[in-house]
């Protein structure tokens, strides 16, 4: 089952303020609410999930991701992600 990364759209609680992961089936609808505080959350597209026929280097280039409105997150381990901008 794929793991999706979410983060709060607003202030958020201890869970969703930064980012959190949720294992979900591909068929499950994306979470809209934080399971802890019920605040609105959005799914973050995580770089490793982006797979296209093109070279990963160009597809994952910061400029390209930014252009398409993605937030690139650096996985720092332990479920922590750092935004690159």
Count of chain residues binding Zn ion (CB under 5 A): 8
Give one DSSP letter per residue of the chain, joined into a string: --EEEEEESSS--TTTSS-EEEE--TTSPPP-B-TTT--BEEEEPPGGG---SS-HHHHT-HHHHHHTTPPPEEEEETTEEEE--
Whichever of 33 and 68 has its CB closer to Zn ion, that residue is 33
Among 6, 7, 16, 71, binds Zn ion (CB under 5 A): 16
Tokens 């597809």 belong to which residue?
59
Residue nearest to Zn ion (CB): 34
Min separation Cβ 9 and Zn ion, Å: 10
Judged by beta carbon, residue 16 or residue 73, the one nearer Zn ion is: 16
Residues of span 37-76 touching Zn ion by CB under 5 A? 37, 39
**Interface with Zn ion (CB under 5 A):** 12-13, 15-16, 34, 36-37, 39
């Amino acid at each position: 089952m794929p793991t999706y990364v979410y983060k709060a759209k607003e202030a958020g609680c201890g869970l969703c303020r930064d980012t959190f992961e949720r294992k979900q089936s591909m068929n499950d609808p994306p979470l809209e609410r934080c399971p802890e505080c019920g605040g609105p959350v959005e799914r973050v597209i995580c770089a490793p999930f982006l797979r296209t026929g093109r070279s990963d280097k160009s597809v994952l280039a910061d400029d390209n991701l930014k252009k398409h409105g993605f937030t690139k997150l650096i996985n720092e381990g332990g479920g922590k992600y750092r935004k690159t901008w």
